[in-house]
Amino acid sequence: MPDPTATEEATSQVQSPFESWGRYPTYGAKLLPLHWQSDFPALTANLHNGALPVGMGRSYGDVCLLKDGNLLVTTAMNRLIDFDPETGLLTAEAGVTLAQVLDFAVPRGFFLPVTPGTKYVTLGGAIANDIHGKNHHTAGTFGRHVTRFELVRSDGSHLLCSPTENPEFYAATIGGLGLTGVITWATLRLKPIVSRKIDYEGIQFHGIDEFLDLTNQAKDIEYTVSWVDVTSKGRNFARGVFMQGDHSAKKDDLRPSPKPKLIFPFEAPGFALNALTVSLFNTAFFHKQIHKRAVALQDYEPFFYPLDKVLRWNRMYGKRGLLQFQYVIPWEHAKEGTVAILREVAKSGLASFLAVLKAFGDVPSPGMMSFPKPGITLALDFPIKPDKSFPLFQRLADMTLEFGGRLYPAKDAAMTAHQFQSFYPQWEQFARYRDPMITSSFWERVTQNS
C-alpha cells in the first residue's frame, strides 16, 4: 500500500531515473524538486557531484541529464507573476510549461511568439535550448522574445538579465544549456491573436529544388515546415509535403473545445518500427494528401502539436529509445549538403519516421550558443540500434561539419567532443559564464579533450 500521507513534501527526494525524451542514454540521478524560487541554491548547499536544472525532459539526448548527479526539477515552480494585456508581456516562473501558458493566454487573445513541436516544455527549458519554431524565418528564436529573466547562481547571487542588464549573462544563458545557473522567472512577449485557428495550406513537392521554390514563395507566411520522405528513392527522392499557415485574421471563439487524450499505453516491441513499416507510413502520409494542394482552417493544436495528442508517444520506439539528429547547414552549402545527407540516410537502410525540413531565416538570436543560423535545417529521428545508428550518426555529423553546418545539442546524444568544439568554436568563451556547481552529461561528454 502506498503511504496515503505522502504529499509532495514527503516525496521530495526521490531516486529515480529521469528520462529524456529519447529515453537514451539513461542514468541514475537524484531528483531534487524546486518548488519555490528561494529553493536554489539553499537546497544544494551540501551537495557533491554537481547539479543541473531540468524542465520536462523533452530534450532528446543528454543536455537534461547528469549521470550520478543532482537534477533540479523545476516543474513545480510554475506560478504566473504578472500579465499586462496592453503589451502582452507575461512574467512567469521558469517551470511553467508552454501548455500552461497557452491555457492562460489563448482565451485572452494571446499566443506564444515561438513554439516547438510539443507544448510540454518549460519556459526555462525553452530559453536554455533557445528553441525555434515553424516561424523562425519571421520571428527568430524563442530567446528573442524573452525580454528579461532572473538567473540565480550557486554562490547565491541573483542576476537580472536583459539586453541592457548583465547583457553577457543574458547572451550566455539563452541557448546556454542550463549551465549558467537556474533561471527562476522570465518575461516573455506574447503576441495578439483573434482566433484559435490557423489558415493552413499543404503542398506536395518532389525534391529539394521544389522545396526551395516553395520556401521562397512563402517568405511572408508566418509558419512553414516540411515533412520529407527519407525512404523514397529514384524519381521520388526527397518528396514531401510543404506546410504553411498564418493565424486566421477572422475573429472567432478563443475558448478551447474539450479534447480527449490518448496515452501510448505500452512499450512497442523492437520490431514494430522497422524500415518496412516506416516506409509504409511515409507513403501513406504522402498520399494522405490526395491533391497537390490542400487548404484547411485548422485549430492551432493539431497544426502545432500533432504528436501531443498521443502522450508519451516516444514509447513507440521500445525500450532502446530513439535519437534525433538535427543539423543546420548555411545557405552556401545547404542544398548539396541536404541532398548528400538524405542520400546517406537512404543508403544506410535505417529508417527515419519523422523527417522535418525547414529553412531558417536571418533574424539573429541574442544567444551566444544558439543553434539556428540562416540555412536549411533537417531533423531526423531514428530508433536506436547500437551497432548501426551510431556509425551513421558519426558519418552524418562529419558531413555536417564538412558543409559548414552544426548540430542541435537539444537533439543529440552522439556527437564527439571534436565535432562539438568545431560546431561551436565559441564554447570556451561561453564556459567562462558557467556556474561552477552546474554541469550536464552532455557538457562532460563534449568538453573532454578530443
Partner 1 sequence: MSTTPQSTSTPRKILVLGATSGIAEATCRIWASQGASLFLVARNAEKLAAVAADLKTRGASYVDTAVADLDDTDQHPSLLAHAVNSLTGMDIAYLAHGVLGDQTEAERDFNTAAQILHTNFMAPVSLLTWLANFCVQRHAGTLAVLSSVAGDRGRKSNYVYGSSKAGLSAFLDGLRNRIDREGVTVLTIKPGPTKTAMTAGMPKSEKFADVDSVAESIVSAIDKRRDILYVPFQWQPIMFIIRNIPERIFKKLNL
Question: Angle at the Cα of 73 (from 316 to 410), degrees rounded to 5?
Answer: 55
Tell me which of partner 1, ligand FAD, none is bound by residue 384, counting a contact when its beta carbon lies within the kind-specific cut-off of 5 to 8 angstroms: none
**Phi-psi map region of 109: left, alpha, beta (phi>0 left; psi -120 to 50 alpha):** left
Binding marks (x or -) toward ligand FAD, 372..401, rule CB under 6 A? Answer: ------------------------------
Question: Angle at the Cα of 388 (from 382 to 393), degrees rounded to 5?
Answer: 60
Tell me which of ligand FAD, partner 1, none is bound by residue 5, counting a contact when its beta carbon lies within the kind-specific cut-off of 5 to 8 angstroms: partner 1
Name which of residues 175 to 194 contact ligand FAD (CB under 6 A). 177-178, 182-183
Least distance (Å) between residue 141 CB and partner 1: 24
By CB under 6 A, name the one of 118, 154, 231, 389 that touches ligand FAD.
Answer: 118
Beta bridge partner(s), residue 381: 324
Cα separation, 241 vs 282, whole angstroms: 11
Contact predicate 141/364, CB 8 Å: no
By CB under 6 A, name the one of 88, 125, 245, 375 that touches ligand FAD.
Answer: 125
Residue closer to partner 1 (CB basis): 28 or 391: 28
Binding marks (x or -) toward ligand FAD, 252..271, rule CB under 6 A? Answer: --------------------
Size of the site for ligand FAD (CB under 6 A): 33
Q: Would the CA dihedral through 79, 84, 90, 96 be positive or negative?
A: positive
Residue 176 CB partners (closer than 8 Å, separation 6+): 128, 367, 368, 369, 430, 433
116 is a site residue for ligand FAD (CB under 6 A): yes
> Segment contacting ligand FAD (CB under 6 A): 54-62, 105-113, 338-346, 394-402?
54-62
Q: Which amino acid is at 314?
A: N
Phi, psi of 425 (to 5 degrees): -60, -20
Least distance (Å) between residue 81 CB and partner 1: 5
Name which of residues 269 to 288 contact ligand FAD (CB under 6 A). none
Residue 98 CB partners (closer than 8 Å, separation 6+): 112, 115, 116, 119, 120, 121, 122, 123, 126
Q: CA separation (Å) from 3 to 7, 11, 12, 249, 352?
A: 9, 10, 14, 52, 44
Q: Is 109 buried (19+), middle (13-18) or exposed (0-12) by CB count in 10 A?
A: middle
- Count CB-CB contacts under 10 A for residue 140: 24
Q: Alpha helix locations (H) across 141-297?
A: 167-173, 207-217, 275-288
Tell me which of partner 1, ligand FAD, none is bound by residue 63, counting a contact when its beta carbon lies within the kind-specific cut-off of 5 to 8 angstroms: ligand FAD
Q: Where are the beta strands (DSSP E) in 37-113?
A: 51-54, 70-73, 80-84, 89-93, 110-111
143 is a site residue for ligand FAD (CB under 6 A): no
Tell me which of partner 1, ligand FAD, none is bound by residue 116, counting a contact when its beta carbon lies within the kind-specific cut-off of 5 to 8 angstroms: ligand FAD
113 is a site residue for ligand FAD (CB under 6 A): no
131 is a site residue for ligand FAD (CB under 6 A): yes
- Count CB-CB contacts under 10 A for residue 237: 17
Least distance (Å) between residue 247 CB and partner 1: 19
* Intra-chain end-to-end CA distance of the chain, in Å: 51
Residue closer to ligand FAD (CB basis): 126 or 214: 126
Contact predicate 399/344, CB 8 Å: yes
140 is a site residue for ligand FAD (CB under 6 A): no
Tell me which of partner 1, ligand FAD, none is bound by residue 45, counting a contact when its beta carbon lies within the kind-specific cut-off of 5 to 8 angstroms: none
Least distance (Å) between residue 383 CB and partner 1: 20
Cα separation, 286 vs 239, whole angstroms: 8
Least distance (Å) between residue 437 CB and partner 1: 20
Tell me which of ligand FAD, partner 1, none is bound by residue 450, counting a contact when its beta carbon lies within the kind-specific cut-off of 5 to 8 angstroms: none
Residues at the contact surface with partner 1, assessed by CB under 8 A: 1-11, 14, 16-19, 31, 33, 35-38, 56-57, 73, 75-76, 78-86, 93, 95, 104, 107-108, 120
Q: Which residue is nearest to ligand FAD (CB)?
A: 178
51 is a site residue for ligand FAD (CB under 6 A): no
Residues contributing to the site for ligand FAD (CB under 6 A): 21, 52-59, 63-64, 74, 94, 116-118, 121-122, 124-126, 128-129, 131-133, 177-178, 182-183, 307, 410, 440
